[in-house]
Amino acid sequence: MKLQLSPRTVIEAFLPFEGEAPLADIYDTANLAGIADQPVRLAVRRLIVAGDITQHGRGRAGTLILTSAGRQRLEFDRQSLAFAFAQDAGHAPWDGQWRMIAVSVPERERSIRDSIRRILVDAGAVTVSTGLYLSPHELLESLPPQAHTYLTMATTANLNYQGTTDPIEIAEALWPAGPIFDAYSAISETLHDLSIDTSVVAPVRQLYLADALERAMRHDPLVPLELRNGTWLPRAIRAEWVEQWESEWKASEGAIFQGWWPTDTQNM
């Protein structure tokens, strides 16, 4: 297959919320996917340095455990996935309110400002003026409580953005569809390649699917479907992804991604 796979995806596939992940299983599965041990070792080190995991023991005899920070990050990713599928199913309709968040942090606390900005942008907010972020979603819960003292927040159903008041036009101006469609091409390519190469074993096929979805959603602000014109392509592609994912999940008997990727999309 021409598809590439991130060693980090392999590692995270084995990380449970509680308990240990055997490095032997991680290395063996990475090897099945054509990834040598060295890139996996480097990815493990980067995750350790980032504070996401700790390693106990050495080499293939070792194990990995999520830290609280790593668990929180992966839980955020899982919640984003759940929210996307809830939107697709019509379970998370837009309430018609725009959220504005003004961030004011002293220069001496630049690291706090950068952290708040990173969280807001990762959650799909966009900058509309210096220090002012806009989102159709409630994002306060995404921020740590200690950040709240730096925020001024407001909601409105009557937004005028650069002379535009139509919500759909505002959404397209701030979150254009083109780059999002481009990001989801990774899923379409993966689904196509997997359909013509049946030699890839189920756990590795799951890894390719998970990696493609992660890359696509990294660029998806999950703007409500009410703010998009016509049939929303990412929604259709995610539906195709789910169908293939559930097939591979059954074939691999849930050996990886335990607890991360529910097979019942009604619970997402």
Residue spans of the domains in the chain: they are: 98-156, 176-267
- Could you give the CA distance from residue 247 to residue 242 in angstroms, rounded to a whole number? 9
pLDDT digits (tens, 9 = 90+) for 217-248: 999 999 999 999 989 999 999 999 999 998 88
Classify residue 149 by burial, with Cβ atoms within 10 Å: 0-12, 13-18, 19+.
exposed
Tell me whether strands 132-135 and 63-66 are parallel, antiparallel or unpaired.
Answer: unpaired
Evaluate if pTM is beyond 0.85: yes
Tell which wins on pLDDT, 131 or 256.
Answer: 131
89 in Cβ contact with 266 (< 8 Å):
yes
pLDDT score at 29: 94
Helix (H) or strand (E) segment spanning residue 120: helix 110-122
What does each C-alpha distance from 100 to 49, 142, 152, 228 come to in angstroms? 34, 14, 8, 20
Rg of the chain over all Cα atoms, to the nearest angstrom:
20
